[in-house]
Every structure is written in structure tokens, then in C-alpha cells.
Chain A
Amino acid sequence: MQQQYAQSILPEEDLAYTVLSDLKRVTREYATAATEAACPDIRQMFTNLLSSTLKMQGELYQVMQSLNMYNPASPVLRQEIDKQLKEYQQTQQKTSQFLQQRMGGQPQGMQAGYGHMVQQQQQHNQQNSHQPYYM
């Protein structure tokens, strides 16, 4: 049996890595194909293939990581997160002001909808200033 495993030209971690990187590439190609499809049935097919390939890629990654074949990148420093968080909270604030100016004459509904979202966000920020929040 051992001899059977020795037939491969590449070491097993290289083989697994090749499959993993091709799954990553194919995932991107399915995403592109889905966005560029004109027929609804073909778009749906590519969407399903994308989801299935993405699932396999994630599972293979987990297996490879558990076998120490793939080391994840080192964690980012807290200061880096703080910096990005601060910057994008400012961006959000500015965009919110921009929207309020531009939509000043718009029907109440739209304004109220966005205002509500911003208000929620501000409350959230006060409650926990270190947790990133995605809109």
C-alpha cells in the first residue's frame, strides 16, 4: 500500500496546494461568469457552481490547516484596526451629511429611512466604540 502513495510526482502538500489554488481561481471565474451571464438559467447555474466551489475551497483549507500544510497570516495589530475604524467612521459621517444635503428636498420616506440607519449606527458606536460595524 505504501508504494501506491509514492507514485505521485509532487509531494502531497504541493498537490493539495495546487488543488486549493485552482479552487480559488475557479471560484473567481464562476463569480465573473455569473455577473456576465444574460440568460437567467445560465446565471443561476454559475451561481450554484460558485457556491459549491466556494464550499469545497473552504473545506479543503480547513483540512490543510489542521494538517499544518497551510499557515494563516499573523494577526493584525489592534492599532491598525483602530486606525481603519476611525477613518471609516469619519467617511460614514461625511457621506451621511452629503446625503442629508442632497436629499433635503426628497420625499420624507427616503430621508427618514437613511436617518434611522445613521442614528442606529451612532448608538452602536457609543455602546461599543471598538467593534467594527458594517453597514
Chain B
Amino acid sequence: MLQPMTAKELEYVADSMSNEDLLIKQCTAVSVGASNQQLRQMCSQMLHTHQQHYQTLLHTLQQHQSMAPTQPQQ
């Protein structure tokens, strides 16, 4: 049973999506820019994980969307 998300939780989820987005871009830069193969491979794996993280955060936001009140609560 889900309960409505708090304003604080929304802030953390939004900040986390910014962080994951930055990491996706950084990992892309290393996976195409580094000369060391081990490093390129590692960052390309991490890239996928960060994309999954982003998706998880987005999905949670969607799940809580319908539950959120439209008027301020007492």
C-alpha cells in the first residue's frame, strides 16, 4: 500500500535524477574518450546502471503522481 510522497522526498528524487543524468553524461564521456580499454568497459557498464537508476526514480515519481493531493492538506 503506497502512501503519498512528501515535499522533501520529491526534492530528493528530483536531485537524484539530476545526479544520475550527470553521471550518465560523464560515463559516456569516459566510455568514448578514454584510451584504456578496462576503463572504457567499466564506464559503459556503469552508464547502463545509471540509466536504470534514472528510470527507477522516474517510475517512482509516476507511481506517486496519482496519489498526490491537489489542494494543500491540513
Residues of A within 8 A of B (CB): 2, 4-5, 7-8, 12, 15-16, 18-19, 22-23, 25-26, 29-30, 32-33, 36-42, 45-46, 48-49, 52-53, 56, 59-60, 63-64, 66-67
Say whether chain B's binding surface is mostly helix, strand, loop, or mixed. helix
> Interface digits, B1-42 against A, CB 8 Å rule (1 contact, 0 not)?
011111011001101100110110011011011111011001
Closest approach, in angstroms, between the C-beta of B25 and any C-beta of chain A? 10
Which of B5, B6, B27 is A19 in contact with, Cβ under 8 Å?
A: B27
Question: Chain B contact residues (Cβ within 8 angstroms of A): what range?
Answer: 35 or more
Closest approach, in angstroms, between the C-beta of B41 and any C-beta of chain A? 9
Complex interface: chain A residues within 8 A of B13 (CB):
42
Kindly state the separation between the CA atoms of A19 and B3 in the bound complex, as whole angstroms: 35
CB closest chain-B residue, reference A40: B3
Contact B6 A22, beta carbon cutoff 8 Å: no
Residues of B within 8 A of A (CB): 2-6, 8-9, 12-13, 15-16, 19-20, 22-23, 26-27, 29-30, 32-36, 38-39, 42-43, 46, 49, 53, 56-57, 60, 63-64
